[in-house]
Structure 1
Amino acid sequence: MQTFNHLITTRPHEVRQVLISDLHLSPEEPALVQAFLALLNDCLALPALKRLFILGDWFEVWIGDDAYLTLSDDARQSHWLTPLIVKLKQLRVAGCEILVMHGNRDFLLGQPFCNLFGGELIDEPYTLTVGQQHYRLEHGDALCLDDKKYQFFRKIMRNRLTQWYLLNKSLEKRLAIADKMRQKSQQNNANKATHIMDVNDDAVIQAVTNSDALLHGHTHRPDIHQATDTKKRYVLGDWRLLNNDTRKPMVSAVIGVVIANEHSDSNKAEFKLVEFKRLMA
């Protein structure tokens, strides 16, 4: 069993960057939303934090930025997204960059929404330099080549013409399409062998050809794997509810942090996986 150090609470002055994935936030899961807000509060308390990465599937579903941007001021006041935007904006004002990558659930997320809090959409793959090592960052779904049906679906959905077509439909129609796709995905996944929904070994080897390590989410199987004999593959974990049937559910996630001793140079930075747990009131 992989052991994760609680670096955010025990070494706050050394945390330079935080990386998260697969939050799957929605108004139907308020504990996950509150846990994300709690993480942002932690980030605001990290004195040396420079970057927050959200590597896809930030939201359970995203039908277009206009679903929020077209709301009236009164509607925004009570919307579940508004506290997130306010907190992210505080983090950006404090000097932390917020870099957002598309996932398979929120590929319609746009820069206009990210502009609300000073965030930036980034393309995959993205190269992150940690010390003298180059990490390839991606969501992870493109590595699951054995799931041929999903890869065909992904190719269609990531096409700009398809996205233009979807975004020109009404919000109601887009929501209905998203619900139908989500139900179909759940049905398909229930009948798939477990290994089909994991990464393909050849795809991983290809991905790390020009990098020192690979970092992704999507598979919901957090761990440190050997990508090759000399290179590692780090997998971030999804955000999940534990003991959900109690009054105070626990939210657990495996996230990434880049740490560096405050008295050392940037060449000595290192990457770690961290277990983030929060008991929600």
Structure 2
Amino acid sequence: MQTFNHLITTRPHEVRQVFISDLHLSPEEPALVQAFLALLDDCLALPVLKRLFILGDWFEVWIGDDAYLTLSDDARQTHWLTPLIAKLKQLRIKGCEILVMHGNRDFLLGQPFCNLFGGELIDEPYNLAVGQQHYRLEHGDALCIDDKKYQFFRKIMRNRLTQWYLLNKSLEKRLAIAEKMRQKSQQNNANKAAHIMDVNDEAVIQAVASSNALLHGHTHRPDIHQATTDKKRYVLGDWRLLNKDTRKPTVSAVIGVMITNAHSDSNKANFELVEFSSLV
């Protein structure tokens, strides 16, 4: 893997799109929040950046936009999300689109929250056309079809009636439900074989059938795989706090970048997985 910092310092005019996933941001892990803000500073320094994709699990848990939107002005001033929103707004004003996809942790995220910074909530799968190439973007959990219990749960949670039911409960009840769901998920995953929680090969072949490549997160197994004989599957990595017990902890993640050579046809672009790291 290359380092993203190297791309910024030596090839800033070539990075046109950035792809991230599985940040799992929360007030309980301020280092991850600071690392995300550092990435946004890097994005602001890229002169031709056109899009930032957040492909799900942006947040560890999301109980509804109203958890933030109903706060008083005073409460927002000290809220952990406010600096994040302000930085994203700067990026959008600069001309970079911010496209956000649901994950399995933040499926209640709505367009009203994204409106705060000029972002757009996108459905999955999302087709990204770059020149003659078509990339299929998704979070990745829908590809893990061997985990039948999870797929049943996913189907229920993505149902509009279920979401309406949840969003009409009080914030306190939603918090309690979310915590219970998280504990149950951790217990279930502890007893599952590793391959069950990974993508299914046949599901991948079907997903990439009408595209040139597949890009997703969710599995926390960053790598470049051969989806078929002529098509690749790019897996983004989760954001991890390393050396957290030391004086200089580091956040590391494998992210995606779309590179266009400044001296070549702008329709010709290369997708690369790179390592982003931030001292916090």
- Determine if the alignment matches structure 1 residue 239 to structure 2 residue 239: yes
Alpha-carbon distance in structure 2 between the residues aligned to 1:252 and 1:4: 11
3-state SS of paired residue (1:267): coil
| Deviates most, 263-272 or 15-24 | 263-272
**Using a 3 Å threshold, how does the CA distance of structure 1 residues 261 and 2 change in structure 2: closer, same or farther?**
closer
Superposition deviation, residue 262 in structure 1 = 1.8
Alpha-carbon distance in structure 2 between the residues aligned to 1:236 and 1:90: 25
3-state SS of paired residue (2:152): helix
**Using a 3 Å threshold, how does the CA distance of structure 1 residues 88 and 275 change in structure 2: closer, same or farther?**
same
3-state SS of paired residue (1:49): coil
Alpha-carbon distance in structure 1 between the residues aligned to 2:4 and 2:146: 30
Aligned to 2:61: 61
Superposition deviation, residue 128 in structure 1 = 1.0
Alpha-carbon distance in structure 2 between the residues aligned to 1:119 and 1:4: 23
Superposition deviation, residue 248 in structure 1 = 1.6
Alpha-carbon distance in structure 2 between the residues aligned to 1:205 and 1:74: 51
Superposition deviation, residue 132 in structure 1 = 2.0
Aligned to 1:46: 46
**Using a 3 Å threshold, how does the CA distance of structure 1 residues 81 and 42 change in structure 2: closer, same or farther?**
same
3-state SS of paired residue (2:5): coil
Superposition deviation, residue 9 in structure 1 = 3.4
Aligned to 1:248: 248
Does the aligned pair in 1 maintain the 2:23–2:239 contact within 8 Å? yes
**Using a 3 Å threshold, how does the CA distance of structure 1 residues 148 and 9 change in structure 2: closer, same or farther?**
farther
Does the aligned pair in 2 maintain the 1:6–1:275 contact within 8 Å? no
Does the aligned pair in 1 maintain the 2:5–2:276 contact within 8 Å? no
Superposition deviation, residue 6 in structure 1 = 3.9
Superposition deviation, residue 240 in structure 1 = 0.3
Superposition deviation, residue 18 in structure 1 = 0.3
Alpha-carbon distance in structure 1 between the residues aligned to 2:261 and 2:185: 44
What TM-score do the two structures reach when normalised by structure 1? 0.97
Alpha-carbon distance in structure 1 between the residues aligned to 2:2 and 2:218: 19
Does the aligned pair in 2 maintain the 1:240–1:251 contact within 8 Å? yes
**Using a 3 Å threshold, how does the CA distance of structure 1 residues 229 and 5 change in structure 2: closer, same or farther?**
farther
Does the aligned pair in 2 maintain the 1:6–1:274 contact within 8 Å? no
What TM-score do the two structures reach when normalised by structure 2? 0.98
Superposition deviation, residue 275 in structure 1 = 0.3
Superposition deviation, residue 200 in structure 1 = 0.3
Aligned to 1:24: 24
Alpha-carbon distance in structure 1 between the residues aligned to 2:201 and 2:139: 16
Superposition deviation, residue 4 in structure 1 = 8.2
3-state SS of paired residue (1:202): helix
Aligned to 2:153: 153
Superposition deviation, residue 2 in structure 1 = 9.1
Superposition deviation, residue 261 in structure 1 = 1.4
Does the aligned pair in 1 maintain the 2:3–2:276 contact within 8 Å? no
Does the aligned pair in 1 maintain the 2:2–2:274 contact within 8 Å? no
Task: Spell out, residue by residue over 1:188-223, the C-alpha distance to the aligned partner (whole angstroms, 9 max, x if none).
Answer: 000000000000000000001100000000000000
Q: What are the ranges of 5 or more consecutive residues in structure 2 without an aligned counterpart?
A: none
Does the aligned pair in 2 maintain the 1:256–1:272 contact within 8 Å? yes
Does the aligned pair in 2 maintain the 1:254–1:275 contact within 8 Å? yes
Does the aligned pair in 2 maintain the 1:222–1:254 contact within 8 Å? yes
Does the aligned pair in 2 maintain the 1:2–1:223 contact within 8 Å? no
**Using a 3 Å threshold, how does the CA distance of structure 1 residues 9 and 191 change in structure 2: closer, same or farther?**
farther
**Using a 3 Å threshold, how does the CA distance of structure 1 residues 21 and 149 change in structure 2: closer, same or farther?**
same
- Determine if the alignment matches structure 1 residue 178 to structure 2 residue 140: no
Alpha-carbon distance in structure 2 between the residues aligned to 1:70 and 1:77: 13
Residue identity over aligned pairs, in percent, reads 90
Alpha-carbon distance in structure 1 between the residues aligned to 2:3 and 2:165: 46
Q: CA RMSD in A?
A: 1.3
Alpha-carbon distance in structure 2 between the residues aligned to 1:129 and 1:262: 19
3-state SS of paired residue (1:233): strand
3-state SS of paired residue (1:5): helix
Task: Spell out, residue by residue over 1:243-267, the C-alpha distance to the aligned partner (whole angstroms, 9 max, x if none).
Answer: 0111221000000000111232222
Superposition deviation, residue 46 in structure 1 = 0.2
Task: Spell out, residue by residue over 1:109-136, the C-alpha distance to the aligned partner (whole angstroms, 9 max, x if none).
Answer: 0000000000000000001123321100
